[in-house]
Structure 1
Amino acid sequence: MKCHRLNELIELIHPAWQQEPDLNLVQFVQKLADEAGYKGELADLTDDILIYHLKMRNAEKTEAIPGLKKDYEEDFKTALLRARGVIKD
C-alpha cells in the first residue's frame, strides 16, 4: 500500500505550495518537475521524483541525498572495511 508515500508527499508539498499560492496544483507540480530537471510527460512523473526534490529543494548542493546519508562514511578505508564486514555497528 502506498498510503505512507502519499502522506509524505502531502506533508512535503503543503508548505512549499503555500509559498506560491498563485499557482494551481498542476502548475506547481509542473514547476517542481522543471526544477528537478524532469523532461518527460507530467503524467509519467513519479512520486519519488517529487518527494526527493522537495526534500532537497532548499539544501546545499553538497548535502547528502536522504536515504544515502545513513550509509555515509568520512573516509574510504572505513567505508570499505564496513562494507566487507570487518567493522560492525
Structure 2
Amino acid sequence: MSCHKINELFELLGPEWNKEAHLNLVEILQKLADEAGHQGGLATLSDDTLIYHLKMKGEAKDAMIPGIAKDVVPDFKEAMLRARGIK
C-alpha cells in the first residue's frame, strides 16, 4: 500500500471515528465493513473498499463515484473527439 493511500484512509477515517469515539479501531472498521456490505472477515476487507465507502457515505445512493465523475462527458461527439486527442 502506498503512503498516499494510508494518508487518504486516515484522513477519511478520523472524522468518522470521532463520531463514535467509544469504539476501538477494530470495531469501527467492522462497522464500516458492514455498512459497505462486505462479506467476510476484516482480513479480506480491502483499503479501496474502505476509502470509497467513506468517500460516498454521505452521498445519495445514485451518486457517481468521484473518480469516475470527473471523466464523464455528456456529449458522445465530444467523447469521441477527446478519445482521439482532438479536444
Equivalents in 2 of 1:76, 1:60: separation in Å?
26
Q: Where does structure 2 lack aligned partners over 5 or more consecutive residues?
A: none
The residue type equivalent to 1:73 in the other structure is V
Equivalents in 2 of 1:79, 1:40: separation in Å?
39
Give me the TM-score of the superposition, normalised by structure 1.
Answer: 0.84
Percent identity (aligned): 59
The residue type equivalent to 1:29 in the other structure is L
Q: Where does structure 1 lack aligned partners over 5 or more consecutive residues?
A: none
- Residues 61 and 18 (structure 1), Cα distance of their counterparts in 2 relative to 1, 3 Å cut: same
Stretches of 4+ moved more than 6 A in 1? none
Over the residues paired in the alignment, what is the CA RMSD in angstroms?
Answer: 1.7
TM-superposed CA distance for 1:80, in Å, is 4.2
Give me the TM-score of the superposition, normalised by structure 2.
Answer: 0.86
Q: Which residue of 2 aligns with 1:43?
A: 43
Q: Which residue of 2 aligns with 1:15?
A: 15
